[in-house]
Amino acid sequence: MPFVLPRVRAGSDVPTIHAANAVYALNEVRARRGGAVAGGVLWGRVVRVGEVVPVGTSGSYSANVLGEIRSDFMTLLPVAKEEASETEDLALAPLPPFLGENLSIKPHGGGTYRYLLGNADVTVKARKEDHAAGMAAATVELSAACLHRLGFRRALDELASWVALWAPAAKLQPSECDLCADTQGWQPTFEDFKGKREEWAFVCAVDKPTLMPYDGYLGYVRFGTGGRAGSRSGPSPIQAVIYDKTEEIRTHDKGWFVPLWAKNAAYRDGEIVTRVEFRFRREWMKERGIESQADLLGALAVMWAAGLEWCRYCVAPVEGADTNRSRLEVRDEWRVLRSLSWGGGAENPLQRIDQARPRLERTLAAIGGYFVTLQALFAHSMDADLADVAGLAVPACLRRWEERGEDFARKVEHRRLRLGGVAMV
């Protein structure tokens, strides 16, 4: 039995979205493609691209409540659940109202969680009082409607203030975060996956995607459900999903999205809206030191950039060009998505705690080995020192990159994103 969402009526009851602080003019994309490629609302922000086309959304956000729930609330939870069981319906939950609305409790639990509570804006799953040590006492999840209405940052602030009322000593640890943008003017096709994997338009570090047709066209693509490349360990800690959002809205009764998109005059009613979404799980965030909501808010730009690099929509190489798929140029649609602002630029990459230091040590060891080889092959004198070898190697590398039309700074940024935002600090 789901928590009932309020009906959305025309006018002031439609959730509002806030204009972004930047306008991205990419009219040449529209001219070349014959349609606007547009970013939309990113956690409540309208991003304008081309002829001002905002189509947008947010995904979901959930967090673990690390700490104990107040004993007076824990005493009342089983009472409220028993009342719900007797009536086989929702009952009033004992937690404080969230955003002015009371919570209801379901007559049953779910999985390892004994109590399921919520309203239209938040869902809470709470464990029994004597749960195992080290486990979260509860999880909290914000609805997409709440994130749209308040914006991402304000919604997280409201959530933290509210949780402090019933778990004052608890810490909120992000467990799942979906970042997404809605677009018009393009959609993936079966042609993008024609031939061998090496010939696909999408380049992603996983074995193979999930493809689902909608009425004869490719309506849903998901990367990351089968684990990392060469692995059978289960879903990847990051997933990419590209799908027809208009169809999902039609089949899941989420019509409140359309008034949000229609707030911009350039939105084309009746045209497919394609969502590009990256789903970050706890494992991915833990590896990069994201342990609090403040950490998450400071990392949004890097997460978005890392997602767009982890899964890339690329142009087929021209004959005679570099065919290394990690260096293929991305298409205009991906360039537009890369330009979207999340606050706090990707120039401050995350440190991947478990891998950055060992990778640095391996890289330094390899560089030392290469310098020894250069000394043995090319140095005119055994008296040549390391500086002489570096003086030989660096100009040669720069000349080689220049001949191939490559730029050192660009290669560094590309590699940084391929490493998932790794940086030693």
**Any residues with CB less than 8 A from the CB of 292 and at least 6 apart, and which?**
171, 172, 173, 174
| Burial class, 346, CB count within 10 angstroms (exposed 0-12 / middle 13-18 / buried 19+) | buried
| pLDDT on residue 110 | 75
The two beta strands, 171-184 and 91-92, are unpaired
Residue listed under structure tokens 């005493």:
75
Residues 331 and 191 sit within 8 Å (Cβ to Cβ): no
Angle (CA) 125 131 132, round 5°: 125
d(CA 4, CA 179): 25
d(CA 356, CA 419): 9
| pLDDT on residue 1 | 41
Does residue 270 come out as left (phi exceeding 0), alpha (psi in the -120 to 50 range) or beta?
A: left
13 phi/psi in degrees, rounded to 5: -80, -10
E-only strand ranges, 232-364: 238-244, 273-281, 311-313
Q: Among residues 341, 291, 254, which one has the least CA distance to residue 60?
A: 254
Q: Is 65 helix (H, G, I), strand (E, B) or coil?
A: strand
| pLDDT on residue 7 | 28
Q: What percent of the residues of the chain are helix, what percent strand, and what percent coil, each to the nearest 5? A: 35, 25, 40
| pLDDT on residue 145 | 83
d(CA 18, CA 41): 8
| pLDDT on residue 53 | 42
Task: State pTM to two decimals.
Answer: 0.70
The two beta strands, 171-184 and 138-142, are unpaired
| pLDDT on residue 169 | 92
Q: Please name the helix (run of DSSP H) or strand (run of DSSP E) that holds residue 64, with its range, or none.
A: strand 61-66
User: How many Cβ atoms from other residues are within 10 Å of residue 272's Cβ?
Assistant: 18
E-only strand ranges, 75-193: 91-92, 104-105, 115-118, 122-126, 138-142, 171-184
Q: What single-letter amino acid sits at 263?
A: K
| pLDDT on residue 116 | 94
Residues 415 and 406 sit within 8 Å (Cβ to Cβ): no
Residues 71 and 65 sit within 8 Å (Cβ to Cβ): no
Question: What pLDDT tens digit does each residue of the chain (425 aa) get?
Answer: 444 322 222 232 322 222 222 122 222 222 233 333 333 333 322 333 333 243 444 567 999 999 999 999 999 999 999 999 988 889 999 999 999 999 999 998 877 899 999 999 999 999 987 767 778 999 999 998 888 788 888 899 999 999 999 999 999 999 999 988 888 888 899 999 988 888 889 998 776 789 999 888 999 999 987 644 434 446 789 999 999 988 888 887 777 778 877 776 667 888 888 889 999 999 999 989 999 999 998 888 888 889 999 999 998 765 555 556 777 888 888 888 887 766 544 444 455 444 555 666 777 777 778 877 877 776 555 566 777 777 777 888 888 877 877 777 766 666 665 555 444 43
Q: Please name the helix (run of DSSP H) or strand (run of DSSP E) that holds residue 72, with its range, or none.
A: helix 71-87
